């Protein structure tokens, strides 16, 4: 039987209604069901952050050339830490929105592959230069290599900023980042599983404020390079 224009219109309307209904009743992502933002809000590359990172790199380079050119230029390192924390948290929240959990082992593996091979290569080059040339005298600085390779330079420099120098002294910042990568996903997962989104936000804000207050307690004008 040939369909009439009216019956075709009715069928089209019913089809559109059915499709719209299925879309509305489609199950939400596990994280979204608990009130967390959708993954689309946290995925993708943010070009503005690349620009900010570029400015911070330039500031660090100029500051190391001559401190007087950019007084307070060391703030660029804090910019790097802030960017790293934001980007990593963004990725973790995107994953939680999609899956309702965090795959910690794959996360740690990616971080390890991103940092450790390059760091060990730098340590190896420093050892070769120190043992075959006069560019760097060890004088017991094997400790510096061990601390750098295990991301503990920042811990020991915080206790004694004049303990050692050499070409690996800057690895304190890698220690801060790696310790953040190790601890923050675990803590964030605990918060996301046990608390409401607003409570997670409050707890995270408190975690940001507490280190600042602790720094105020530990600060001393004669130890400007302590961490």
What distance in Å separates the CA atoms of residue 196 and residue 66, rounded to the nearest whole number? 48
Tell me which residue range forms the domain holding 147: 104-227
What's 222's DSSP letter?
Answer: T
Q: Per-residue pLDDT for 56 more than 80?
A: yes
80 and 180 share one domain: no
Instruction: Write out pLDDT tens, residues 137-147.
Output: 666 567 888 88
Show which of 100, 117, 141 is a domain's final residue: 100
171 and 89 together in one domain: no
pLDDT for position 4 = 53
One-letter-per-residue 3-state SS of 154-211 = HHHHHHCCCCCCCCCHHHHHHHHHHHHHHHHHHHHHHHHHHCCHHHHHHHHHHHHHHH
Domains of the chain: total: 2
State the pLDDT at residue 39. 46
Inter-axis angle of helices 172-194 and 75-99, nearest 10:
30
Residues 109 and 90 in one domain: no
Q: What mean pLDDT comes out for the span 93-121? A: 92
- Closest Cα partner for 39 from 98, 120, 79, 86? 98
Q: How far apart (Å, rounded) are the C-alpha atoms in residues 136 and 9? A: 84
* Tokens matching residue 174: 């890698």
Domain boundary among 78, 100, 122: 100
Spell out the SS3 assignment of 113-141: HHHHHHHHHHHHHHHHHHHHCCCCCCCCC
Residue 17 in any domain: the answer is no
For residue 103, pLDDT beyond 70: yes
Q: Is residue 15 part of a domain?
A: no
| pLDDT, position 9 | 47
Q: What letter does residue 2 receive in the DSSP assignment?
A: P
Say how far apart CA 212 and CA 29 lie, in whole Å: 36
Residue 71 has pLDDT above 70, yes or no: yes
């Amino acid at each position: 039987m040939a369909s009439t224009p009216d019956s075709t219109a009715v069928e089209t309307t019913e089809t559109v209604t059915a499709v719209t209904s299925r879309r509305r009743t489609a199950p939400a992502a596990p994280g979204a069901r608990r009130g967390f933002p959708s993954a689309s809000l946290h995925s993708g590359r943010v070009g503005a952050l690349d620009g900010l990172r570029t400015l911070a790199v330039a500031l660090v380079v100029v500051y190391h050339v001559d401190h007087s050119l950019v007084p307070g230029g060391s703030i660029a390192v804090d910019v790097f830490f802030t960017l790293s924390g934001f980007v990593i948290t963004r990725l973790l929240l995107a994953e939680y929105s999609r899956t309702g959990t965090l795959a910690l082992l794959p996360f740690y593996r990616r971080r390890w592959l991103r940092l450790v091979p390059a760091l060990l290569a730098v340590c190896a080059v420093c050892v070769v230069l120190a043992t075959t040339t006069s560019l760097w005298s060890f004088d017991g600085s094997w400790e510096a290599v061990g601390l750098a390779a295990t991301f503990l330079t920042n811990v020991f420099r915080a206790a004694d900023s004049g303990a050692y120098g050499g070409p690996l002294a800057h690895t304190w910042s890698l220690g801060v980042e790696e310790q953040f990568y190790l601890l923050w996903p675990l803590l964030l997962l605990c918060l996301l599983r046990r608390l409401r989104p607003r409570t997670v936000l409050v707890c995270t804000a408190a975690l940001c404020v507490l280190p600042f207050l602790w720094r105020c307690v530990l600060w001393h004008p004669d130890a400007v390079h302590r961490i």
